[in-house]
Structure 1
Amino acid sequence: MSFLRLFRDKIFTAIFLLVSTLAIGVLGYKYVAGYDWVDAAYMTVITITTVGYGEVNPLTPEAKIFTIVLILCSVIIVGFAISVITEYIISRNSYSDLKDKKVQNKIDGLRDHIIVCGYGRNGQQAVQKLLAYRKQFVIIEMDEDLIERYDDNDDILFVHGNANEDEILEIAGIERASTLICALPEDADNLFVVLSARQLNKSLKIISRATAETSQKKLKLAGADNVIMPDKIGGDHMASLVVVPDLIEFLDNLSVVGEEDSINVEEISFDQVCQDGKERSIKDIDLRYKTGCTIIGYRAPSGKYVVNPSADQLLARDSKLIVIGRPEQIKSLHDTFGI
């Protein structure tokens, strides 16, 4: 992007020189040749553009010298302006084509990635969390100016277009994606995206934003697995801070990622803790002793959750454990089990 910014600076310089030349020409013909303002502007334009029409009135020797100087300067300035503008247009188109091709090649190489529709407030919050957990994702956004702000960030892949269109979803790799997050501001747009996405990928997990409570059921019927209402969650959260402030502040700390002295929550699968494929109990894997993390939840293959499971809880295939620990304990967990 640096060379495009350089071209933009050159364009501003060229425009400044053109305007300055016009102003000097008008003032020169006004006060050197004695023309009125209209005739002075007319003479300036036909001189700079080298059209070749005759003079409005015969020129004095001083006016002829001024015209010679104006012609020589304007030829250089106009030629410079045309070359800069032409070079900028060609370079911008070439750069855009190369960048789009590079981004598309990266998207084509993704598997089981996440597609985020809309990069507004909720979309940005989702992306920050995905970046923290190093998840692969693609953002679909219509605002081209918003996309250009992140041109220098190679960690964020954008697809410019309307997520309502099947073609745009296919460009984002909807057939290979594992999850779709609909964070568009309008419920109707989210509903349409959910319908389209479910048709294109039957196994896709879809999480949608909703504003109205009436939209929640419709989005579920359309194929959304989870429907989130940010406004409702925000209101409940504020009220909870009044009723049980210490509890809510503690729970808020659980979602903080990567900050020193913060508490982290992690989920690990059966395959990660029982790498040989043998089913074991929580006591047998001895997670607390090996890593310092504490198991606070167990998700059975059926989807049923057990809070604070006992030590005798058997870990079945396709199950998951929810663990809690300080950052250094979570790191120990990752190192111990190669996560």
Structure 2
Amino acid sequence: MSLLHSNFHYFRKLYIALGLVVFVLLLGVAGYMLLEDYNFLDAVFMTVITVATVGYREVRELDTDGKIFTVFLIIFSIGAFAYAVSVITRYVIEGEFQLYFKHYRVNKEIKQLTDHVIVCGYGRNGRQACEQLRSGNIPFVAIESNPAIIAQMQEEDNILFLEGDATKDEVLLDAGLDRAKALIAALPSDASNVFVVLTARDRNARLKIISRASEDGSEHKLKRAGADNVIMPDKIGGTHMAALITKPDVLEFIDHITGRINIRLEEIMCRDLPERMRNKTIRELEIRNKTGANIIGMKTRDGEYLINPDPATPMLPDTKLFVLGTQEQVMQFREIIRQSL
């Protein structure tokens, strides 16, 4: 179900209620014109005073058929108007009207997003991914189809989400697939994640796709479908628990770094550096002296990772830097880059 269909769902009962009211009025006008030979104006007047039960005098004396029709019209109109009043009251009291406009606002914000992340599935893994994206101030849209989870998401004010099946093309397009920079497939079913990855890769070739997998055999299928990375939470969890026994302090130190909001581990492309900083060595950049941040790793143009690179290593255009520091230190480094451009 797309956001448009979700909005229609909220207003469907209201549409039915208003339709019944209009139907009663049209039925009354048509009935009096056919049975009593009233002209249009007299039929409208007679219908309105009948359904409103105001007690005005009839246009002229009704015959037997007219009286029987009037009785049924009154009974039917009472039911229709009672239903309409109950629906409208529910929208006002239960807040469904406000909920509709909240969905309208969310839909408008999603249409304005660019270079955002789409998270398919708001279960355990999807929720954790969204929390990390939120802490990094990265815009994202979550897609979920479970009504119980959706009810929880509606209570959160700081999340953009769509109610729908992420394996459907139209739902992914509603989430801005063509404008997104990355997609996380975190659905509970590996088969569903394969469908999501296939659709996403076909619609957006430049998209960064990360998928969750449960079965060992699914990793290969997901990569063939177009996933850049496949994460198996169960394997990672087991490795993490074993590492807490073999290297507890090291792992806790890493968890401390990655878990603290004030600690940032950022990746920066050397081609984004200003001209005067390119092709210089790490020593010549003096990042540590100027900002306090540290270049702890690099990724070469050939995909090779260098841990704790030598200070004499040059900053080639296709190289990626991994910078570790506090949030203020990393922001200061980025500010130096921005001012030098």
- 1:190 & 1:288 partners in 2: Cα distance? 42
| Change in CA separation of 1:250 and 1:277 when aligned onto 2, cut-off 3 Å | closer
Cα distance in 2, alignment partners of residues 264 and 199 from structure 1: 33
The answer (yes or no) to whether the contact 2:274–2:337 under 8 Å persists in 1 is: no
Displacement after TM superposition at 1:266 (Å)? 2.2
- Structure possessing the higher relative contact order (Cα contacts under 8 Å, 6 or more residues apart): 2
Q: Give 1:300 shift.
A: 2.3
Counterpart position of 1:237: 240
Match of 1:32 in 2: none
Note the alpha carbon deviations across 1:303-337, whole angstroms, 9 max, x for none. Answer: 33211111221112243211222455335434444
- CA displacement 1:31-66 (0-9 Å, x = unmatched): xxxxxxxxxxxxxxxxxxxxxxxxxxxxxxxxxxxx
Q: Confirm or deny that 1:86 pairs with 2:98.
A: no
The answer on whether the counterparts of 1:256 and 1:264 sit within 8 Å (CA) in structure 2 is no
Aligned AA for 2:89?
E
Corresponding position of 2:130? 127
TM-score for both structures, normalised by structure 1:
0.69
Counterpart code for 2:102: K
Matched, 1:325 2:325: yes
Given the superposition, is the C-alpha separation of residues 270 and 93 from structure 1 closer, same or farther in structure 2, using an over 3 Å criterion?
same
Alignment of 1:212-223 (within 5 A): 212-223=215-226
- Per the alignment, residue 284 of structure 2 pairs with 284
Residue 139 of structure 1: SS of its match in structure 2?
strand
SS of 1:175's equivalent in the other structure is: helix
Whole-Å Cα distance in 2 between the matches of residues 203 and 243 of structure 1?
40
Does residue 116 of the first structure (1) align with residue 106 of the second (2)? Answer: no
Whether the aligned pair in 2 keeps the contact of 1:140 and 1:158 (CA below 8 Å) is yes
Equivalent AA in structure 2 for residue 199 of structure 1? D
Cα shift at 1:258: 1.8
TM-score, scaled relative to structure 2: 0.69
- C-alpha displacement of 1:93: 5.4
Rounded Cα–Cα distance in structure 1 between residues aligned with 2:118 and 2:275: 30
Please show how residues 265-280 of structure 1 align to structure 2 within 5 Å.
Answer: 265-274=265-274, 278-280=278-280
* SS across alignment from 1:150: helix
Is the 8 Å Cα contact of residues 271 and 277 (structure 1) preserved in structure 2?
no
Report the AA paired with residue 225 of structure 2.
A
Shift in Å at residue 166 of structure 1? 0.4
Which amino acid is the alignment partner of residue 104 of structure 1?
N
Shift in Å at residue 134 of structure 1? 0.4
**Number of matched pairs:** 258
CA–CA distance in structure 2, aligned partners of residues 93 and 132 of structure 1: 30
Greater share of helix residues, 1 or 2?
Answer: 2
Q: Corresponding residue for 2:293?
A: 293
Q: 2:210 aligns with which of 200, 207, 212?
A: 207
Matched AA of 2:160? L
How far residue 225 of structure 1 moved from its aligned partner, in angstroms, is: 0.7
Structure 1 portions without partners, runs of 5+: 1-78
Letter in 1 for 2:103: D
After superposition, the C-alpha distances for 1:224-256 in whole angstroms (9 at most, x for unaligned) are 110000000000110111111111111112212
Post-superposition CA distance 1:80-122 (Å, at most 9, x none): 9984553224785543442222112111111111000000000
Give a deviation string over 1:251-276, Cα, whole Å, max 9, x none.
Answer: 112212325xxx54222232554365
